[in-house]
Amino acid sequence: MILTLFYILSAITLATAFLTIFSKNPIHSAIYLVLCFFSIAGHYLMFNAQFLAIVHVIVYSGAIMILMLFTIMLMNLNKEDEKNKTLLSRIAAAGAFGLVALVLIATFIKSHAVIARYDVSGKDYQSIKVLGQVLLNDYMVPFEFASILLLVSMIGAVLLSKKEHING
């Protein structure tokens, strides 16, 4: 039963991820991405990580996707305004993709386990109290960097969407 549920959730995750990438309409891509996030939350539930699943749905499917939809709507992406890409820019994009793919493949091939032995600490990281203490004590700086990064990206999206007014 659990294996069947895993395969169904995996198929939904992969299908919606591919639909997100290959969809021509940016709004449809955003909706497919929300469905992908919900299926990933289903995987978290299968791992008995209820808190992580709920936070995943709230943060990604809620906040980030709303931010993305507002950005798409503010930028007013229309097919009529989009210029055709030149052959040189397509070749450069394919080359950049190939280089990134090679770096990732080399990283996965050369990677080794960091921890040779897994020590059990006895702490229940499913507990919200322990999770909050770890997040806000041990990982305070990365947590704040993530919030600053989200703020800067939101300001950048608003500045990109502003129209220039020409006087005269």
How many domains does the chain divide into? 1
Q: Is residue 62 part of a domain?
A: yes
Give me the pLDDT at residue 106, please: 92
Q: Is residue 123 part of a domain?
A: yes
Q: Is residue 98 part of a domain?
A: no
Q: How many CB atoms lie within 10 A of CB 109?
A: 7
- Residue pointed to by tokens 């909706």: 31
Give me the pLDDT at residue 81, please: 55
pLDDT tens, position by position, for the chain (168 residues)? 889 999 999 999 999 999 999 888 877 888 898 899 999 999 999 988 888 888 888 888 777 777 777 777 776 655 555 567 788 888 998 999 999 999 999 998 888 766 667 677 776 666 777 777 887 888 888 888 888 988 888 888 777 777 665 555
Q: Is residue 88 part of a domain?
A: no
Amino acid in position 155: I
* Angle, helix 65-75 to helix 140-161, in steps of 10 degrees: 20
Q: Is residue 49 part of a domain?
A: yes
DSSP state of 120: -
Give me the pLDDT at residue 82, please: 56
Q: Is residue 32 part of a domain?
A: yes
Can you tell me the distance from the alpha carbon of 132 to that of 137, in angstroms, rounded to the nearest whole number? Answer: 8
Q: Are the C-beta atoms of residues 37 and 65 closer than 8 Å to each other?
A: yes
| Residue closest to 157 by CA, chosen among 89, 81, 75, 90 | 75
Q: Is residue 99 part of a domain?
A: no
Q: Domain limits at 143? A: 2-82+113-161
Give me the pLDDT at residue 120, please: 73
Q: Is residue 96 part of a domain?
A: no
Can you tell me the distance from the alpha carbon of 147 to that of 63, in angstroms, rounded to the nearest whole number? Answer: 13
CATH of the domain at 141: 1.20.120.1200
Q: Is the dihedral of CA 14, 15, 18, 19 positive or negative?
A: negative
Give me the pLDDT at residue 56, please: 87
